[in-house]
Structure 1
Amino acid sequence: MARAFPAVRMALAAIVIGALGACTTSVRNHGFTPSDEDLSTLQVGKDTRATVGNKVGRPSIGGLMADSGWYYVQSRWESRGPIAPKEANRQVLAISFDAQGRVEQIERFGLEQGRVVTLSRRVTDNGVTKSGFVSQMLGNVGRFNPNQFFGDNSRRGRL
């Protein structure tokens, strides 16, 4: 019995250490935004898309239109134990270009400027029915037109 007590203490200590380890904050970083030092090399009205790409790199996200701006997005997610991850920080850097492809404006947005967008759950009907082979064959019984299948016989034999 005297030997069982230290084993119980060791098991209990391992459980406590494991439980405390599970409560530590786990951090995940996603994306990339150029630093302020890199952005200081850009000149509004002078730099083009090509020079911006060479100086700070091309973004992974572009605007919907071909000639719209570039968007650099970086986010930091933190999770603690079994609690769902929460976004702790988000930075969006928007570089817009004018009609000649030169830098027009550089803006930085944070998590506080973000808005939640509710997505619609409606689904468009695709018109596909779940019918089997036999029901499809029986459904086409009255629709058969031999002229469409064999072609127009009035043209046969003519050169």
Structure 2
Amino acid sequence: MGITNYTGVMRRMLLGAVMSGGLVACAPEFANHGYIPPQEDLDQIVVGVDTRASIEESIGVPSTAGVVNDSGFYYVRSRKKTLGPLAPKEIERQVLAISFDSAGVVSNVERFGLERGQVVPLSRRVTTSGVENNGFLRQLLGNLGRFNPTALAG
């Protein structure tokens, strides 16, 4: 084997090593942050019965809590993808919100996700009617000012 053949083989090996190293450097890396309790644990929460203390005991202390009147517990989990030297990109986010009433009893359990940069609800246990503290007569009279005769004609 001559010196020319040997140099060609070494060049090909070096080129292969550089290309392999470049491909490995471009492999995506994933990072998980935060915590959301498993669905089995969430299924054990009873709306209207469980309290702040029972939630902390059964599924753990949240990563974030409501700052206004201790309104709720928020569990947040996100997943980020980094490709080579590029900045990390968030590819998944979930937020679990557990709301409490003024007595500290669970009033709602909701799960939100991130789809195309928009926060969307994934699941809800209880929804409010929006007509609290309004009797039938108050609701009826409250709609009189909203009457639009052109809507009937058109």
TM-score, normalized by length of structure 1? 0.68
**Within 1, Cα distance between the matches of 2:69 and 2:33?**
25
Q: Give the distance between the partners of 1:4 and 1:107, measured in 2 at CA.
A: 66
Q: Greater strand share, 1 or 2? A: 2
How many angstroms does 1:29 deviate by? 0.5
Higher mean displacement: 44-53 or 2-11: 2-11
Q: Distance in 2 between matches of 1:99 and 1:106?
A: 16
Moved over 2 A (4+): 112-115
% same residue: 50
In structure 1, what is the Cα distance between the partners aligned to 2:98 and 2:70?
Answer: 12
Q: What SS is found at the alignment partner of 1:83?
A: coil
Alignment of 1:1-159 (within 5 A): 1-112=4-115, 113-114=118-119
Q: TM-score, normalised by structure 2?
A: 0.70
User: Which amino acid in the other structure matches residue 114 of structure 1?
Assistant: V
Cα deviation, residue 67, structure 1: 2.4
* Structure 1: gaps spanning 5 or more residues: 116-159
Bigger-Rg structure (1/2): 1
Q: Which runs of 5+ in 2 are unaligned?
A: 121-154
C-alpha distance in 2, partners of 1:101/1:64? Answer: 14
* SS of equivalent to 1:5: helix
- Give the partner amino acid of 2:59: V
What count of residue pairs does the alignment treat as equivalent? Answer: 115
Deviation at 1:105, TM superposition (A): 0.3
